């Protein structure tokens, strides 16, 4: 299959390596002609140290190459996705399968990434989502990984499954696009907060409490937005949260770790040295929750840490001193 990948960061590069290994013709797009020339010459992308691009991956700064693509994969940062899609739209022919590998919710509109792509590229192209616990550093090194391909059209989901799947990259199909995308966006917020928990040295009990209650928040948000609560217990939900909260590769966790240790937010974001999606997602997730009338105490606390200079230790106290409540919505009088 002829595949064009928009976004030459770590994730777009890792997926390009994967797809080339599966026998597809792959062109990887970067907005920077100098970067395209350098990566073509060295077969190295600074975003993935120690990893070499196979010769089958063509690196280009020319979007016109997408005109013959059968599948267009978008792996741009969430805050740049609309701009990239708008530029790409004239080069994508009707019927091309669009796959979003970007996790986030657009600021201002609260649209999911698949909605942004569908709006910019048009209704003539089916849109699917690829998500799950999948750090680029490990995928690029062919380490065992599992993801989900989500689309309301089963045939499209299965096509994406077949394109990406191999012996080290398992792909499961999922119909719940809403739940998959909301989990993918919100888990970045949760992971940033989990880094704060580690930065404050609160211990494993606190981390388990934090992650479990954060998952409960995501389940309520997904259901209220039209998704399925069960998605939160799958790879796109629990799986992605685990890896993003605990992995040394997680930029969101690293940023939170620095904040928990006392670094100002702006400094922590700079120190990470790459896009920290949880920073942008915190504002979008809270905005969406307000629109839907959903209470998200953990995500809102992370938002206040990032945007309202809330003290990390006071934030912990705020969460721990909330009113008593039942863990689940039990019917105590049910016999």
Region 278-292: mean pLDDT is 95
Asked if residue 204 and residue 295 are part of one domain, the reply reads: yes
pLDDT (tens digit, 9 = 90+) per residue, 62-72? Answer: 999 999 999 99
Q: At what angle do helices 204-225 and 277-292 cross, to 10 degrees?
A: 50
* Annotated catalytic residue within 35, 44, 86, 187: 187
Judge whether 62 lies within some domain: yes
Domain count, the chain: 2
In a domain, 333, yes or no: no
Listing from the earlier edge strand, what are the strands of the sheet with 127-131?
57-60, 25-29, 2-6, 71-74, 97-100, 127-131, 145-150, 169-174
What whole-number distance in Å separates Cα of residue 115 and Cα of residue 74? 13
The residue-averaged pLDDT of 58-83 equals: 96
- The residue out of 175, 208, 236 marking a domain boundary is 175
Expressed as residue numbers, the domain containing 208 is: 178-320
pLDDT at 250 over 90: yes
Chain centre to alpha carbon of residue 97:
19
- Bridge partners (DSSP) listed for residue 25: 2
Q: What pLDDT was estimated at residue 325? A: 87
Question: pTM of the prediction?
Answer: 0.93
Encode pLDDT of 93-107 as tens digits: 999 999 999 999 998
CATH number, domain containing residue 283: 1.10.1040.10
Burial code of 58-97, b = ≥16 C-beta within 10 A, e = fewer?
Answer: bbbeebebbeebbbbbbbbbbbbbbebbeebbebbeeebb
Instruction: For residues 168 and 200, give the distance between their C-alpha atoms in angstroms, rounded to a whole number.
Output: 36
Closest by Cα among 81, 71, 79 to 4: 71
| pLDDT tens figures, 138-152 | 999 999 999 999 999
The reply to whether 326 falls in a domain is no
| Active site annotation includes 187 | yes
Shared domain check, 170 and 216:
no
Q: Domain with 161 in it: what CATH number?
A: 3.40.50.720
pLDDT at residue 256, rounded to an integer: 97
Cβ atoms of residues 275 and 255 within 8 Å: no
């Amino acid at each position: 299959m002829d595949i064009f990948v928009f976004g030459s960061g770590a994730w777009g590069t890792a997926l390009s390596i994967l797809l080339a290994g599966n026998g597809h013709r792959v062109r990887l797009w970067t907005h920077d002609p100098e970067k395209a020339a350098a990566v073509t010459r060295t077969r190295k992308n600074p975003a993935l140290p120690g990893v070499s691009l196979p010769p089958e991956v063509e690196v280009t700064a020319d979007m016109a190459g997408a005109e013959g693509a059968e599948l267009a994969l978008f792996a741009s940062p969430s805050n740049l996705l609309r701009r990239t899609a708008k530029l790409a739209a004239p080069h994508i022919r009707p019927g091309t399968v669009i796959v979003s590998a970007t996790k986030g919710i657009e600021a201002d509109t609260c649209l999911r990434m698949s909605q942004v792509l569908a709006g910019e590229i048009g209704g003539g192209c089916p849109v699917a989502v690829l998500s799950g616990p999948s750090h680029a550093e490990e995928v690029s090194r062919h380490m065992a990984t599992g993801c989900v391909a989500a689309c309301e059209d089963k045939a499209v989901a299965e096509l994406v499954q077949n394109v990406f799947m191999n012996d080290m990259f398992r792909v499961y199909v999922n119909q719940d696009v809403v739940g998959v995308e909301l989990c993918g966006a919100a888990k970045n917020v949760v992971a940033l907060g989990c880094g704060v928990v580690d930065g404050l040295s609160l211990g494993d009990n606190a981390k388990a409490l934090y992650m479990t209650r954060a998952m409960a928040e995501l389940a309520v948000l997904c259901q209220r937005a039209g998704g399925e609560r069960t998605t939160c217990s799958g790879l796109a939900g629990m799986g992605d949260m685990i890896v993003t909260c605990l992995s040394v590769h997680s930029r969101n966790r690293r940023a939170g770790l620095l904040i928990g240790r006392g670094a100002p937010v702006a400094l922590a974001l700079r120190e990470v040295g790459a896009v920290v999606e949880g920073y942008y997602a915190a504002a979008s997730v809270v905005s969406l929750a307000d629109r839907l009338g959903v209470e998200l105490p953990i995500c809102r606390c992370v938002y206040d840490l990032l945007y309202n200079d809330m003290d990390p230790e006071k934030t912990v106290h705020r969460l721990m001193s909330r009113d008593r409540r039942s863990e689940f919505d039990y019917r105590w009088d049910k016999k």
